Structure formats: structure tokens, C-alpha cells
Amino acid sequence: MTASDTTSPAVLEQLQRQSRRAGRRILFADATIVTMDPALGVLDRADLLVEGDTITAIGPGLSRDGAVVVDATGTILTPGFVDTHRHAWETQLRRIMPDVDDLGAYVMSTLAGYATVYRPEDMYVGTRLAALTAIDSGITCMLDFSHNSRTSAHSDAAVEALLDTGIRGVHASMGPHFGDWDHQWPGDLTRLREKYFAGDDQLLTLRLAALATDEIAGPALAYGPALARTAKDLGIGVSVDAVFGASSSEAIARWDEEGLLGADVTLIHATGLTQEAWKAIGGSGTTIALAPTSDAQIGLETAIPAIDEALAAGVRPGLSIDVEVALVSDMFTQMRTLHAIQRMRAVNAVHGTGRQPERITTHDVLDFATLQGARTNGLAGVTGSLTPGKKADLLVIRAEDLNNMPLNDPIGTVVLGSDARNISAVFVNGVPRKWNGQVLGVDLPALREEVHASRAYVLDAPAA
């Protein structure tokens, strides 16, 4: 085995010089490639060619002419992970309430308390920290459910934080639950689209964010005909949070009757829903974003991630992080949590009966974290698999590190063996964002100072 060139400063310098050229070529050589493309599968000792920002070829013995060659011997190439729902603005409050007992405690402390004092600069700091952490742990696409849009400046700060990190970001905008705000939302979505989302081929996309019902924050934030019409007029998708229980099930049935469900709508959590609600979801092609650690740890409705219900309805869900005030930041944990919970439930359900449990696999959860996450975010044609024609959002994972060697099953190694320390390189849109285990372009002491200053302000300011 030779050392991977993802440790080489000289190769990084070549890549960064090339990044300014539209026709740049990067060849990842001799890797184990987990494509997550059903037609391509897993390739051993193969090459992957990137031209500009796009994957153009995958296979053994590709031509190296004119390419910066990255020796990927001893590594696994995978698609970047896709986070379908994270409240990024909260990130300077990480693990401030690690043992939160229920949704109400989170709502009153964070949304009715801390959120009300956030300035635009606090939105920027929290969102940027979340996006950089996502990149560090291999998440190349993140949907930021930005539900603290108190002013247009707050929204601008959140979008610009995504822009400044280089992540493939989805800004899902929603007005705040509590406190004073300008009530510029959802009207301000038109301005946001024109200012930041005018191009068809760019890193950022826009969505409308809403709640399932009016129980928490009133009818203005609840999904229904008015917000659906706003999204349709703007040509954007919708992400609906707090989807759980009887009231959400009733809302889903109503949306189905009104024609408000479909592939451009994502329902988040989806715990404790009725069979009728799941029938409407599956029949309409509506997408689902599960939050495995959030459902289980905070105890949302049944506290059981709705993976069996989703699969029974014909829905392959995406995965998400949710709130870092109480939860982990990475996709490896989401995959493992869902894998363990579903298999535990499956075995328990048939224990003593002689029947065989219906268990999901490591391939399933990696599919949820990549290809299905991209589909859930409305980006299935852009990212989520290593497929020629898609953008070059990919990870280089060291397979010969102490905790991974020897490589026996590539997908099992990614899902059950790896973590952020094994990610040698992260590319977003063909541009290196992490190299030799370090996120690029970050002045860590300056960032640390900004994060601490923002946290101090938020914690000290009286709630509005």
C-alpha cells in the first residue's frame, strides 16, 4: 500500500490552482468506490474522473492525461452525506441541554428564550459553525431549516454563512415561533430568491419551511393552502417540521384532499402517524426526513424513528441531525442509531414466534444518508451518488486507519467503522473543502473567538 495523496500539500496546491480553471481535471486513482448508484454498485481498485465540477467517468484504468492525480490507494470513495434538516442557527448553544426530556422543554428554552435575542451576526456565526462542522464530518449537502428569520437581515446572514463555507446548502426559511419580528416572512422569500438563488447551476437552493400544525406557534407558520401557493409561485419545495401524532395525521389527510402533498414536499420526523396518513404520504410521493437521534433522545411522540412505517408505505427516507442544543452533529451516528433501533425492533417483534425479522442493512442506511437524502432535498439529479453527470460531492475515507483495517466490506466499514477522523478529504462541487483531515479556509482561533462572543451575548441578553 502507498500513502494516499490526500495527505500531500503539493497535491492540494495543484488542486487549488486548478480550481480556478473551468476545465480542470482531477483523477482519483485506485480507490474502492462505493458509488451508491444501483447500476454501478461497489468497484474495487477503480478510478473516478472529475472535470470541472462534475463526475465524468468511473472505472479501472482511466486516462490520466491533463489531470491532477490523487492516489487514493487504501481509501474508500463515497458520495458526500446529505443532511435533510438541521436548525443551524443554534450551533453556538451546542449540548446546552443534553438531557432534555421533551419537546416542550426545548421549545421554551430555545425558541421562546434564546432565539428571541439573536442578532443577524449570531445567525451567521451559528450557521457557519454548523456548515463547517458538517463538512468536517462528511456532510456535503445540508438543509438549514432556518426558523429564526426575524428580519431580512437575519435571513441574509444565514444564507451568506452557507455561501462562505462552500457547502451545498439548502436554505429553508421560516418565521420565528415567539418574540418580536418584522413579519416579513413569507413575503421576503421573493427577495431572497432574486438576491441569492437566481441561477440554475449553483451551490445553494431555496425552500419554504413550515410547521405541520398551529399548536406551537399559531396558524401563520402552519403548512396549508396559502403557504403551498407561495411555494408554487416561487417554484420552490417545502419542508414541514414537527410532523407527529394525531394532529399531524389529520393535517396530512387534509393536505392530501387539497392536493398539497407531493415529491416537492418533505415531512420531518413523521413519528406516531396513523396508517391513513402513511397511505396518503406513500400515494402522493411525498418525501420523509427522519431524525433518528432526535426522535429517540428527546422523545418525540412514540420516540421511535418511523423507518418501518416509511418503508411499508414505499418511502425511502432521508436522514437529518436536527438540533445541536441536545444532539450529535454527524451522519455516522444517525446511520448507526437507525440501523440499531430498527434491527432491535424487528427482532423483538418476532421473538419467540419462529418468524424471520425484517431487518434493514448497512447499505440501506447509507442509501438513506446519501441518495435518498439528495432526493428528499430535491437534488437527486445533482448529488447523492457517484454517478457520471452528477456534481463531484465526495468523501475520501481512509480504510487502513487503525479502526478500519483490514478492509473487508466497504459499506460496512463506512457505516459501522468510520467517523470524522477517518475522512481524509471532502470535495464539494469538485473543490477540496477538507484535506489531510483538516477543514480548509478556516481561521480556527478567530472562529472560536466569534463563537464564544456570540454565545456570551445570547446567554446574557434578556429574552425579548
Same domain, 49 and 120: no
Instruction: Decide if 28 contacts 70 (C-beta within 8 A).
Output: yes
Identify the bridge partners of residue 33 per DSSP, sorted by sequence position.
43, 77
Same domain, 312 and 430: no
CATH number for the domain spanning 314: value is: 3.20.20.140
Instruction: Specify the number of domains making up the chain.
Output: 2
CB neighbour class for 146 (10 Å; exposed up to 12, middle 13-18, buried from 19): buried
- pLDDT tens per residue, the chain (464 residues)? 345 688 889 898 888 887 667 778 999 999 999 999 999 999 999 999 999 999 999 999 999 999 999 999 999 999 999 999 999 999 999 999 999 988 999 999 999 999 999 999 999 999 999 999 999 999 999 999 999 999 999 999 999 999 999 999 999 999 999 999 999 999 999 999 999 998 776 899 999 999 999 988 889 999 999 999 999 999 999 999 999 999 999 999 999 999 999 999 999 999 999 999 999 999 999 999 999 999 999 999 999 999 999 999 999 999 999 999 999 999 999 999 999 999 999 999 999 999 999 999 999 999 999 999 999 999 999 999 999 999 999 999 999 999 999 999 999 999 999 999 999 999 999 999 999 999 999 999 999 999 999 999 999 988 77
How far is it, in rounded angstroms, from Cα 297 to Cα 295? 6
The residue range of the domain holding 358 is 81-376
Same domain, 257 and 327: yes
Same domain, 186 and 301: yes
Residue 202's CB: how many other CB atoms inside 10 A? 13
Does the model's pTM come out above 0.95?
A: yes
How far is it, in rounded angstroms, from Cα 172 to Cα 159? 10
Among residues 323, 357, 376, which one ends one of the domains?
376
Instruction: Decide if 436 contacts 6 (C-beta within 8 A).
Output: yes
DSSP strand pairing (205-211 vs 168-173): parallel
Instruction: Decide if 233 contacts 260 (C-beta within 8 A).
Output: no
Same domain, 287 and 357: yes
